[in-house]
Amino acid sequence: MLIGIDASRANRDHKSGTEWYSYYLIRWLSKFDAKNQYILYTDKPLKGGLLNLASKDGIHGKKQEDDEIEFDKNGYQKIKSSHKNFKGKILKWPFNFLWTQGGLSLEMLFRKPDVLFVPAHALPIIHPKNSIVTIHDVGFERYHRLYDREQIGPEAKNGRKLINFFVQLLTFGKFSANSADYLRWSTMFALKNAKKIITVSDYSKKEIMEIYGKFAGMPPLEEKIKVIHNGYNKNIYQDNKLGGKTDEVLDKYGIEKPYLLYVGRLEKKKNTPALIEAFAIMRDANKNIKHKLVLVGDANFGYDDVKYMVEEYLLEDDVIMPGWIEEEDMPFVYCGSDGFIFPSLYEGFGVPLLQAMSCGSPITASRAASIPEVVGGAALLFDPQNVEEIADSMAKIIRDKALRDNLIRQGKERVKNFSWEKCARETFEAIENVVRH
Distance CA 60, CA 17 (A): 14
CA 275, distance to chain mean position in Å, is: 20
pLDDT score recorded for residue 57? 58
Distance CA 113, CA 434 (A): 13
Q: How many CA atoms lie within 13 A of 157 on its CB side?
A: 0
pLDDT tens, residue order, the chain (437 aa): 999 999 999 999 888 889 999 999 999 999 999 999 999 999 999 998 999 998 875 554 444 445 688 999 999 999 999 999 999 999 999 888 889 999 999 999 999 999 999 998 899 999 999 999 999 999 989 887 777 777 887 777 777 788 777 778 778 788 887 888 888 999 999 999 999 999 999 999 999 999 999 887 898 999 999 999 999 999 899 886 566 788 899 999 999 999 999 999 898 889 999 999 999 999 999 999 999 999 999 888 778 888 889 999 999 999 999 999 999 999 999 999 999 999 999 999 999 999 999 999 999 999 999 999 999 999 999 999 999 999 999 999 999 999 999 999 999 999 999 999 999 999 999 999 998 87
Closest CA to 335 of 235, 416, 250: 250
DSSP letters, 322-380, are: EES--GGGHHHHHHH-S-EEE--S--S--HHHHHHHHTT--EEEESSTTHHHHHTTSSE
pLDDT score recorded for residue 241? 54
User: Which runs of consecutive H residues, i.e. helices, occur in 127-271?
Assistant: 139-142, 157-170, 179-193, 202-212, 245-252
DSSP letters, 46-113, are: --GGGTBTT-SS----S-GGG----B-TTSPEE-B-TTS-EEEEE---SSSS-HIIIIIHHHHHHS--
pLDDT score recorded for residue 214? 86
SS3 readout for 232-250:
CCCCCCCCCCCCCHHHHHH
With vertex at residue 421, the alpha carbon angle to CA 189 and CA 119, rounded to the nearest 5 degrees, is 15
- Residue 3 pairs in a beta bridge with 38, 115
Q: Which domains does the chain have, with CATH numbers?
A: 2-231+420-436 (3.40.50.2000), 245-417 (3.40.50.2000)
